[in-house]
Chains A and B, each alone.
Chain A
Amino acid sequence: MTEHIDLEQSLHMYEQMAKIRAFEEKVNELYKSAKMPGLAHLYSGEEAVAVGVCEALKRDDYITSTHRGHGHCLAKGAKVDRMFAELLGKEAGYCRGKGGSMHIADPDSGNLGANAIVGGSMGIATGAAMSAKMRKSGQVAVCFFGDGALGQGLFYEVANMAALWKLPVIYVCENNLYGEYTHHTETAAGEFIARAQAFGIHTEIVDGQDVHAVYATMQKLVERARRGEGPAFLQCNTYRYYGHHVGDINRAYYRAKDEEADWRANRDPLTILATRLIAQKLTDASVIARIDAEVNAEVETGVAFALDAPFPDVREVNEDVYA
């Protein structure tokens, strides 16, 4: 997997992951200082999945995202400043302040929206793939969802239809071990991939902490989808560093602190990539430090922009219900 590393692309993927990490740390701060209302579900720890997947896509390929969607949005090309603006309910936000954390969408970068209903976007992604196939556009659609979404019946309906119609859709299951506050072994019987295999869908399991592995596998799946070989199911094993949402602070009752510490210390996607690049003498720590500094500065600038940005006029409450 690592023998043909393109350094420039690897550093780009590092930058994207570092940006997501810095973004989420800032979101946590905003929430804790009561500057942000509502709910936010942090993506920290899972960065290699969004970045590895989106790196294999073109700008006009589609994604649908989840309640834990900031990473997907940024990886697909959304800008930090307008993301923060949306989280703060500002007019400059991607949804003019009407969507918030769980509904950020950016059709210009192929992002058909985060979705607060677990599994709720599976039909939309599948329909986007159907549309791409009908229009012969060559686009593919990626549907992100978590392990918890396998409890939703919609998955079995879309998997059946996508397989029957050989749709160019890739179902990316982010297995971060917990659906809300419950370990997947208590909520999902059998193997995850067996569900897709039952429909004859091509499946892969990948280490979701290794961005190279995610990217390389995803590239194969995208190519076969573009060739008309139909849907695929990619299980990415990963971990969320924080709780189900930002308010889920004391987690010991459902997962051990040692487990959290172990993932952070030994399975961190940024560390894994940086260590590999340095060990192979492709880069050095100063380059990594420079990228970290750059993305931190981008996040600081972005949040400052968003904090200063105006709220939408309250009269907008009635706008955009209908086209």
Chain B
Amino acid sequence: MSEPREITYAQAVREALRQAMQRDPQVFLLGEDIGVYGGAFGVTDGLLDEFGSERVRDTPLSEAVIAGTAIGAAVTGMRPVAEIQFMDFITLAMEQLVLQAAKMRYMFGGKARVPMVLRTPAGSGTGAAAQHSESLEAWFVHVPGLKVVMPSTPYDAKGLLLAAIADDNPVIFIEHKLLYKTKGFVPEEYYTLPLATSEIKRKGKDLTLIATSVLVARALEAATQLAQEGIEIEIIDPRTLKPLDTAAMIQSVCKTGKALVVHEAPMTGGFGGEIVAQLCASEAFDFLDAPIRRLAGLDVPIPYNRELEKRAVPQVADIVREARALVRGEY
């Protein structure tokens, strides 16, 4: 492998799309303003020039048919990668994804394959308010037949997206708007990361912190601050929510005896509840010496005002406070 360069998360996603399209003529892109405009966040910038309008398709503002035609193309031999401009808009395609894409193979007794990826940027932090800031991953995790991927770094984004495109199932690939400009080391070559492996993002002995997407970066920042107080946090990123790899987190909790689960989506019915349940049902339960805590978004729509918006989802200071309290035995 060549020396990894430092590139942004958005560039890593673009590089994955480009390499998938170079390798496999069945791979093509469709979505709203992904061609001429280059995508709402510039992720697909330049791909139209490179691959042409047959393979980089600007669609009408019609999320249901973006999903629907992706399904039809996938089941007849293509490998579509659809973009839903904001995760909020996925609500307009729910029937096609939940009742068609996810169930087709099972309903047909295993006779269909639906190798499609639906990429979408989620999350708050851009001042775009309640209909452009959703984090809806828990909905999709609840649907048998779908896989759900949520990368937190440029390296993970590229390897997981290439794996998602090569996968023969419908994959919901959730990017985060605030991560697009973050940088990380990424190999130039084609590589895939398995869609079922979590990763320990930081080693520590005092607390296991399980975080997803942008909250991984905030957790790392919190961990740096807490290290100055002598508190060492272990941070685990599931990376793929479905299928979920629980081995590392269970092992970690057996070691630390404490667990904090952090995500941006609202607490109630959020994916964190599933992680807590899995930990409680595992051998880690016997090692717990404090209640497992969750730190998640408030049960509110994302507000417009900057300060209210920050208050609605966990920030670095919230993680520091919660982790410290847990480690100090305050719960």
- B109 contacts A320, C-beta separation under 8 Å: yes
Name, among A107, A120, A322, the residue most crowded by chain B CB atoms within 10 Å (CB to CB): A322
A261: shortest Cβ distance to chain B, in Å? Answer: 37
- A323 contacts B168, C-beta separation under 8 Å: yes
Would you call B36 an interface residue if the criterion is a C-beta within 8 Å of the partner chain's C-beta atoms?
Answer: no
- A127 contacts B105, C-beta separation under 8 Å: no
- A323 contacts B169, C-beta separation under 8 Å: yes
A residues 117-136 in Cβ contact with B at 8 Å: 117, 120-132, 134-135
Q: Which residues of A contact B145 (CB under 8 A)?
A: 321-322
Q: Which residues of A contact B28 (CB under 8 A)?
A: 134
CA distance A160 to B169 in the complex (A): 28
B residues 105-119 in Cβ contact with A at 8 Å: 105-115
Q: Which residues of B contact A105 (CB under 8 A)?
A: 107-108, 111-112
- B107 contacts A103, C-beta separation under 8 Å: yes
- A126 contacts B110, C-beta separation under 8 Å: no
- A123 contacts B72, C-beta separation under 8 Å: yes
Q: Which bracket fits the contact residues of A?
A: 35 or more
A residues 78-98 in Cβ contact with B at 8 Å: 93-98
B274: shortest Cβ distance to chain A, in Å? Answer: 17
Surface stretch bound by A, among B56-64, B256-264, B278-286: B56-64
Q: Which residues of B contact A106 (CB under 8 A)?
A: 111
The one of B76, B111, B169 that contacts A62, using a Cβ cutoff of 8 Å: B76
Nearest-neighbor residue (CB-CB) of B93 within chain A: A123
Nearest-neighbor residue (CB-CB) of B144 within chain A: A321
A residues 133-172 in Cβ contact with B at 8 Å: 134-135, 141, 153-154, 157-158, 160-161, 164
- A124 contacts B64, C-beta separation under 8 Å: no
Would you call A99 an interface residue if the criterion is a C-beta within 8 Å of the partner chain's C-beta atoms?
Answer: yes
The one of B69, B109, B144 that contacts A95, using a Cβ cutoff of 8 Å: B109
A127-B69 contact in complex given A117-B99, A153-B64, A161-B60, C-beta closer than 8 Å: yes
Would you call B73 an interface residue if the criterion is a C-beta within 8 Å of the partner chain's C-beta atoms?
Answer: yes
Would you call B100 an interface residue if the criterion is a C-beta within 8 Å of the partner chain's C-beta atoms?
Answer: yes
B residues 85-134 in Cβ contact with A at 8 Å: 95-96, 99-100, 104-115
Nearest-neighbor residue (CB-CB) of B70 within chain A: A127
CA distance A157 to B63 in the complex (A): 9
Would you call B298 an interface residue if the criterion is a C-beta within 8 Å of the partner chain's C-beta atoms?
Answer: no
A223: shortest Cβ distance to chain B, in Å? Answer: 21
Name, among A99, A123, A160, A323, the residue most crowded by chain B CB atoms within 10 Å (CB to CB): A123
CA distance A200 to B167 in the complex (A): 38
- B76 contacts A112, C-beta separation under 8 Å: yes
B272: shortest Cβ distance to chain A, in Å? Answer: 24
- A107 contacts B64, C-beta separation under 8 Å: no
Would you call B65 an interface residue if the criterion is a C-beta within 8 Å of the partner chain's C-beta atoms?
Answer: yes
Would you call A186 an interface residue if the criterion is a C-beta within 8 Å of the partner chain's C-beta atoms?
Answer: no
The one of B64, B73, B109, B147 that contacts A131, using a Cβ cutoff of 8 Å: B73
> Digit string of A161-195 for contact with B (CB within 8 Å is 1, else 0)?
10010000000000000000000000000000000
Would you call A319 an interface residue if the criterion is a C-beta within 8 Å of the partner chain's C-beta atoms?
Answer: yes
- A95 contacts B72, C-beta separation under 8 Å: no
- A128 contacts B111, C-beta separation under 8 Å: no
CA distance A204 to B76 in the complex (A): 28
Q: Which residues of A contact B106 (CB under 8 A)?
A: 98, 320-321
B21: shortest Cβ distance to chain A, in Å? Answer: 13
- B108 contacts A117, C-beta separation under 8 Å: no
- A161 contacts B109, C-beta separation under 8 Å: no
- A161 contacts B71, C-beta separation under 8 Å: no
CA distance A127 to B64 in the complex (A): 12
- A123 contacts B69, C-beta separation under 8 Å: yes
- A98 contacts B109, C-beta separation under 8 Å: yes
Q: Which residues of A contact B165 (CB under 8 A)?
A: none
B20: shortest Cβ distance to chain A, in Å? Answer: 16
Q: Which residues of A contact B4 (CB under 8 A)?
A: none
- A123 contacts B96, C-beta separation under 8 Å: yes
- B71 contacts A96, C-beta separation under 8 Å: no
Q: Which residues of B contact A93 (CB under 8 A)?
A: 109
- B100 contacts A99, C-beta separation under 8 Å: no
Would you call B67 an interface residue if the criterion is a C-beta within 8 Å of the partner chain's C-beta atoms?
Answer: yes
CA distance A232 to B167 in the complex (A): 34
Q: Which residues of A contact B109 (CB under 8 A)?
A: 93-99, 320
CA distance A319 to B60 in the complex (A): 37
- B113 contacts A323, C-beta separation under 8 Å: yes
Would you call A208 an interface residue if the criterion is a C-beta within 8 Å of the partner chain's C-beta atoms?
Answer: no
B residues 157-171 in Cβ contact with A at 8 Å: 167-169
A158-B65 contact in complex given A127-B71, A127-B73, C-beta closer than 8 Å: yes
- The 9 closest A-B CB pairs, nearest first, are A123-B68, A127-B72, A127-B69, A96-B109, A320-B110, A95-B109, A323-B168, A157-B65, A157-B62
Residue contacts A-B, CB under 8 angstroms, 19 given:
A99-B107, A99-B109, A105-B111, A112-B112, A117-B100, A120-B99, A123-B69, A126-B69, A127-B74, A128-B72, A130-B72, A131-B77, A135-B77, A157-B64, A161-B62, A320-B105, A322-B105, A323-B105, A323-B167
Extra pairs beyond A122-B65, A134-B54, A135-B78 (13, CB < 8 Å): A62-B76, A98-B106, A106-B111, A117-B99, A120-B100, A122-B68, A124-B72, A124-B100, A126-B65, A127-B75, A130-B73, A131-B72, A322-B169
B residues near A (Cβ < 8 Å) are: 28, 54, 59-60, 62, 64-65, 67-78, 80, 95-96, 99-100, 104-115, 144-145, 147, 167-169
A residues near B (Cβ < 8 Å) are: 62, 93-99, 103, 105-107, 112-113, 115, 117, 120-132, 134-135, 141, 153-154, 157-158, 160-161, 164, 319-323
